[in-house]
Amino acid sequence: MTVDMRPGGAVRAVSATLAVLTFSVVGNVGSASATTTDLVLYYPFEPPAAASSTTQPFLGNDGDGAVDTSVVESSGGTLTSVSSRPGQGQAVRFPAFDPSEYGARAVVRIVNRTSTDVLAPGRRNFAWSAAFKIDAESAEHSRTSHDNGDNLLQRGLYYGPQFKLDVDDHRPGCRLRGSTGGSGAVRVVSAVTVSANRWYRATCTRSGNRLTIKLTLFAADGSVTRSWRRSATSKVGFGKLSWRNIDTPVTIGGKLTPSSTTSTSSDQFNGVVDNPQLRIWNP
């Protein structure tokens, strides 16, 4: 459901194209073997060959997770299909910076299709990532407004179980909180500040009690220019990462309330996103 949070605002539902495809190895997905990991979510945002040309993004999951995908929009916020970096086809543009309390918002919502929670890593190692190009205005002004964050990919909110990747203040950061609660929560932030309107990929990886962020910069021709890594360790461990409510969504481009609506502080990502993914290692 899409809910306009303005007083007296209209309610509008937007349903995205759904697809669950058998996973095949894709060159830009990662180096881990498909026999040792489950690529649960992978959104290349590429329409089928037979699809007609359109500005509406294709939201089919090329990972092997049984999920349903939709878009939650409010106050006129929309998603648009645009060109990605060279060699990567299409990407998705999220709403531009809007400082108002009930500004334009649009967030991709991903939920389990069955009673099995394929989006919960439990005690397993896992990684979540996305390529992005952030707008200059978001980076400059977001901290002083209602649109005060730039969340890329997450599940859960601050005071509960959560994995999150954001680009707040131009610095990509990862946060992980499991069953050990706040005492075991860890946030690690890249030492590198990203530049507006340049393509990067940020990857968060949980390996035991360690959380690592890897930031990769792409050149104008789409090739890798440089990468940086930074890690932090949970002193008490992360424990198990699971959610009581199986319908807790994974979101792309912002956060949603527990009832899957936008809020006045939805941490809307302002820019372009491509190839978000969630990979969980098998035991």
pLDDT at 27: 32
Within-domain flag for 218: yes
Instruction: Report which of 150, 47, 17 is spatially closest to residue 94, judged by C-alpha positions.
Output: 150
Instruction: Report which of 72, 59, 71 is spatially closest to residue 21, judged by C-alpha positions.
Output: 59
Domain count, the chain: 1
Within-domain flag for 28: no
pLDDT at 53: 65
**Residues 1, 16 contacting (CB under 8 angstroms):** no
Q: What is the CATH number of the domain that holds 212?
A: 2.60.120.200
pLDDT at 182: 86
Within-domain flag for 31: no
Tokens 């690690």 sit on residue: 188
Please state, in angstroms and rounded to a whole number, the distance separating the CA atoms of residues 58 and 40: 18
Q: What angle do CA 53, 251, 11 make, to 5 degrees?
A: 75
SS3 168: helix
Q: Which domain holds residue 224?
A: 37-281
Please list the alpha-helical segments (H only) found in 176-238: none
Supply the pTM of this predicted model. Answer: 0.85
Please state, in angstroms and rounded to a whole number, the distance separating the CA atoms of residues 76 and 130: 25
Q: What percent of the chain has pLDDT over 90?
A: 69
Please state, in angstroms and rounded to a whole number, the distance separating the CA atoms of residues 122 and 243: 9
DSSP assigned state of 114 = S
Please state, in angstroms and rounded to a whole number, the distance separating the CA atoms of residues 70 and 55: 16
SS3 281: strand
Please state, in angstroms and rounded to a whole number, the distance separating the CA atoms of residues 123 and 221: 39
Mean pLDDT throughout 29-54? 72
Q: Is 243 exposed, middle or buried (0-12, 13-18, 19+ CB in 10 A)?
A: middle
Q: What percent of the chain has pLDDT over 70?
A: 83
* pLDDT digit string, tens, across residues 235-272: 999 999 999 999 999 999 999 988 889 877 889 999 99
Within-domain flag for 209: yes
**Residues 17, 60 contacting (CB under 8 angstroms):** yes
For the chain, the residue count is 283
* pLDDT digit string, tens, across residues 176-198: 999 988 889 999 999 999 999 99
Tokens matching residue 276: 């978000």
Say yes or no to pLDDT of 4 above 50: no
SS3 111: strand
Within-domain flag for 29: no
Within-domain flag for 55: yes
Say yes or no to pLDDT of 67 above 50: yes
Within-domain flag for 25: no
